[in-house]
């Protein structure tokens, strides 16, 4: 399993989404966090199973929540660029690839 590094924007998105779901219904925030953490573990175990979407950035799609994790491999690490709601403008996370 490769080490995972979150860009600060991705960590903030992840935390804010978990908080939002928790406010919607008690326990739902934890369910969101567990789902995304499981997805990140799958990424860290085998990043090549996810297709390259943009430049060298790969996309992993959550099953239960409308979120995707955008990441790249850097020096044997996984760098998470975004934990992104699928309805948001992708130009926001694409700016992080520079």
Q: 49-73: per-residue pLDDT in tens?
A: 999 988 899 999 999 999 999 999 9
More confident residue, 26 or 84: 26
In terms of Cβ atoms closer than 10 Å to its own Cβ (0-12, 13-18, 19+), residue 63 is: exposed
Question: Largest alpha-carbon pair distance within the chain?
Answer: 39
Q: What is the pTM of this model?
A: 0.90
% of the chain residues with pLDDT over 90: 81
Q: 21-38: per-residue pLDDT in tens?
A: 999 999 999 999 999 999
User: Domain spanning 4-97 has what CATH number?
Assistant: 3.30.2310.20
């Amino acid at each position: 399993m490769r080490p995972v590094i979150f860009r600060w924007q991705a960590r903030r998105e992840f935390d804010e989404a978990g908080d939002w779901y928790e406010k919607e219904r008690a326990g739902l925030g934890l369910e969101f966090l567990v789902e995304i953490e499981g997805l990140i573990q799958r990424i860290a175990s085998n990043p090549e199973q996810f297709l390259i979407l943009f430049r060298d950035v790969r996309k992993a799609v959550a099953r239960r929540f409308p979120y995707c994790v955008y990441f790249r491999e850097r020096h044997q690490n996984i760098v998470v660029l975004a934990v992104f709601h699928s309805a948001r403008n992708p130009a926001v996370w694409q700016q992080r690839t520079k």
